[in-house]
Amino acid sequence: MDDDFEALRARVMAGPALQQRLDRAILPDVFAAELRALAAEMGLRLDPRRLDPQSRPAPVRDGRLSGAVRPSRSWAPPGWLPVRLLDCEGGGIVDWAYFGDAVLAESFYEDSARRAAMRPFNRLFRHAMRLDDFVAGAQPDDGVAPQGFLFHMSRCGSTLAVQMLGRLPGTIALSEPGPLDALVRLAIGRTDLSEQWRIAALRAMVAALARKRSGEHRCFVKLDSWHILALPLLRRAFPDVPWVYLFREPVEVLVSHMRMRGYQTVPALMPPGLYALDQASTAAPEHLCAGILAQFHTAAIAALEAGDGIAIDYADLPGAVAARVAPHFGLALSDAERAMLERAARGDAKAPDRAFTPDASSKQAQASPAVRAAAREHLSPLHERLRALGGARL
């Protein structure tokens, strides 16, 4: 039997309505039946093995482009967003997935990307391209220009803040998107890349992640905590985008990291040489985490003292989102929009279906002497400086 799958693929990838039709079938059996019906309408014959997508083959294997995907020279069609930026021999590979008009409602972009990648359509239909082609073929008008960046020290309410902003109509809320993190790593780690290319690449990635899919007209980006160390580069790429830095009482943040370490506090998982750490003073995990968080604070304070950005204390959330963050980002909130923010603030940021429960007291009670010592040594003076820069409490 001749297999006309490539002809079918070409027509589907060129037809947004066909992509929507196939993506509506979320059960594998229903998807296979819809695919057979579509092929019959087109007079195409498919190998039955093509109709049962069991996995989403990786576009890169062992550092090389696999045979599962033929790289494109052009951006994916409308409705597609980058889900991964992968290292590959001869240059990075941008892997896309079809999202359609689905809202990025999950706490983190990676959760939305994982959900999209599991759908039968994305298991069978792929789009990938080399990073150089991605940058050269950028379509900035496809994306909503970012209206605000949220930097943070980690475990300090930034997820809540971006989710609150994301509840506003016509808003894209990008929460720590992995493809952007991978590009920032590349941009600061490759000294052979020109400044012009790095800026163009960052702008292309943000535009691709913030593509207009349902009439959106504003976008807010929550960066990874360590990205504050790349603030100068990000400011050169986006000089007009206002930003905030969120922070929290250091003992409470350290207690959270001692329960479950964030990858940002594991130097081996970060770009080589990113952290300048005194091995003697950061040998214990409490001091290591505190020393890394202190570098985040130091970078933020330097920028804040230069008159750029504003500092937001976790103790002032959620009220500070409407009172300070929104005006700083150029938003004039209506009464209805303020009510939307208030409703969003009632849920747990990491589990929105559950009501928020304050945990500052419990974390203070659980803090070990080692945690308190590390906070005093590395973070307390910086915390007080941030509070001073942040202004009066609400």
CA atoms lying within 13 Å on the CB side of residue 78: 13
What is residue 94's predicted lDDT score, i.e. its pLDDT? 96
What is residue 258's predicted lDDT score, i.e. its pLDDT? 96
DSSP state letters, 321-350: IIIIIHHHTT----HHHHHHHHHHHTEETT
What is residue 292's predicted lDDT score, i.e. its pLDDT? 96
Average pLDDT over residues 77-103: 93
User: For 224-274, how does the pLDDT look when each residue is reduced to its tens digit (9 = 90+)?
Assistant: 999 999 999 999 999 999 999 999 999 999 999 999 999 999 999 999 999
72: helix, coil or strand? Answer: strand
User: For 367-393, how does the pLDDT look when each residue is reduced to its tens digit (9 = 90+)?
Assistant: 999 999 999 999 999 999 999 998 655
Instruction: Tell the CATH topology of 145-177+217-390.
Output: Rossmann fold (3.40.50)
Distance (Å, whole) CA 90 – CA 87: 9
Per cent of the chain over pLDDT 90 is 78
What is residue 367's predicted lDDT score, i.e. its pLDDT? 96
| CB proximity list for 358: less than 8 A, separation 6 or greater | none
Q: How far is CA 24 from the centre of its chain?
A: 25
Looking at the predicted structure, is the pLDDT value of residue 146 above 70?
yes
Looking at the predicted structure, is the pLDDT value of residue 394 above 60?
no
Taking the CA atoms of the chain, what radius of gyration do you get in angstroms? Answer: 23
What is residue 203's predicted lDDT score, i.e. its pLDDT? 97
User: For 196-222, how does the pLDDT look when each residue is reduced to its tens digit (9 = 90+)?
Assistant: 999 999 999 999 999 999 999 999 999
- Contact in structure between 230 and 188 (CB atoms under 8 Å): yes
What is residue 282's predicted lDDT score, i.e. its pLDDT? 77
Looking at the predicted structure, is the pLDDT value of residue 179 above 80?
yes
CB-CB neighbours of 94 under 10 Å: 28
Q: What is the DSSP letter of 15?
A: -
Q: What is the DSSP letter of 267?
A: G
Average pLDDT for the chain: 92
Distance (Å, whole) CA 87 – CA 63: 6
Looking at the predicted structure, is the pLDDT value of residue 122 above 90?
yes
Average pLDDT over residues 165-178: 96
The model's confidence at residue 281, banded by pLDDT at 50, 70 and 90, is confident
Looking at the predicted structure, is the pLDDT value of residue 89 above 70?
yes
The model's confidence at residue 64, banded by pLDDT at 50, 70 and 90, is confident
Q: Which of 368, 350, 377, 332 is nearest to 163 (CA)?
A: 350
Max avg pLDDT among 122-136, 277-291, 336-350: 122-136
Average pLDDT over residues 136-152: 95
What is residue 1's predicted lDDT score, i.e. its pLDDT? 39
Looking at the predicted structure, is the pLDDT value of residue 350 above 50?
yes
Looking at the predicted structure, is the pLDDT value of residue 355 above 80?
no
Looking at the predicted structure, is the pLDDT value of residue 288 above 70?
yes
What is residue 126's predicted lDDT score, i.e. its pLDDT? 87
Burial of 19 (0-12, 13-18, 19+ CB in 10 A): buried
